[in-house]
Structure 1
Amino acid sequence: MTQHADLTPRQAWERLESDPAAVLVDVRTQAEWSFVGLPDITSLGKQVVAIEWTTFPDGTPNPHFLEQLRAALPSEDAPTLFLCRSGARSSAAAAAATAAGYTHAINISEGFEGDLDEHGHRAVNGWKQADLPWRQG
């Protein structure tokens, strides 16, 4: 199995802030970007790279993911931080990137919205709960 690193959203922010080469790749769907929001890293002089890992509404794998990743990030050595809703799709994307030769693929373990609480709401952890900058799509 291909290994990659994991960071919390706060650790990911700190990495993006301290490392000029670090890139944030949001692998959620267009619908999620539009209706749930996106991380806002413009204060760091950076833009989120948005590449779907799976497609909406059927959830099928994006067959062009690695091709789109290479087009957006031709350097396989840049620290590449992957984000999804809760950390599962981004973990798979980081593993695929690592297998494809990206040497610093990093999963943001809690994702953008985080885990479910006892009421079924995503209010436990994640980028938004860490009070990191984000904007509505």
Structure 2
Amino acid sequence: MNDYAGDLPPRQAWDLLASDPDAVLVDVRTSAEWQWVGGADLSELGKRTLGIEWMMSSGEPNPRFLEQLGEAGVAPEAPVLFLCRSGGRSAAAAQAATAAGFGSAYNVAEGFEGDPDDDGHRGSINGWKVAGLAWRQS
């Protein structure tokens, strides 16, 4: 059993973001991943993805993660969906948010890039991009 609201496949996560005006998407990957790999684009929903690193580019945990959620305006009662590369860091972030009092913290299962294929490459089996959801690369 999860210590958070649950795991949502990317399409279901998109549907929740589209149907609930208070729902927020937080990308917990590193700033380098946002810049080089791209990220979810919620502009057609009139929303933006919040980028708050779970692990910093140095490989160290972000000691201010929960504080930064609050600074970004994420309300404890709002559904908050966490996204990472493949669903691991985002699950940990959802657990931490739940422990801190966020009532509806979800993990976006499969993440942005999804699981690796037989050649070790991501982005072809599952995940946000493979689901055909809006994203952009800088």
The question of a shared fold, defined as TM-score above 0.5 by the shorter chain, is answered with: yes
**How far apart are residue 71 of structure 1 and its match?**
1.0
1:113 counterpart letter in structure 2: E
Moved more, 107-116 or 3-12: 3-12
CA contact (8 A) 2:27 2:53 kept: yes
Hey, what does 1:83 align to over in structure 2?
83
Q: Using the alignment, how far apart are the partners of 1:63 and 1:22 within structure 2?
A: 24
Hey, what does 1:96 align to over in structure 2?
96
Hey, what does 1:109 align to over in structure 2?
109
Hey, what does 2:49 align to over in structure 1?
48
Hey, what does 1:33 align to over in structure 2?
34
CA contact (8 A) 2:24 2:74 kept: no
1:104 counterpart letter in structure 2: S
> Under a length normalisation based on structure 1, what TM-score does the superposition of the two structures give?
0.96
SS at match of 1:89: helix
SS at match of 2:82: strand
Question: Runs of at least 4 residues of structure 1 off by over 3 A?
Answer: none
> Under a length normalisation based on structure 2, what TM-score does the superposition of the two structures give?
0.95
Q: 1:7-26 deviations in whole A, cap 9, x for unaligned? A: 00010001111111110000
Q: Using the alignment, how far apart are the partners of 2:15 and 2:74 within structure 1?
A: 23
Q: Using the alignment, how far apart are the partners of 2:66 and 2:10 within structure 1?
A: 23
Hey, what does 1:128 align to over in structure 2?
129
Gaps of 5+ in 2: none
Q: Using the alignment, how far apart are the partners of 2:111 and 2:35 within structure 1?
A: 16
2:73 counterpart letter in structure 1: L
Q: 1:103-131 deviations in whole A, cap 9, x for unaligned? A: 00000010000000111111210000001
Hey, what does 1:119 align to over in structure 2?
119
Hey, what does 1:17 align to over in structure 2?
18
**How far apart are residue 4 of structure 1 and its match?**
2.9
2:34 counterpart letter in structure 1: W
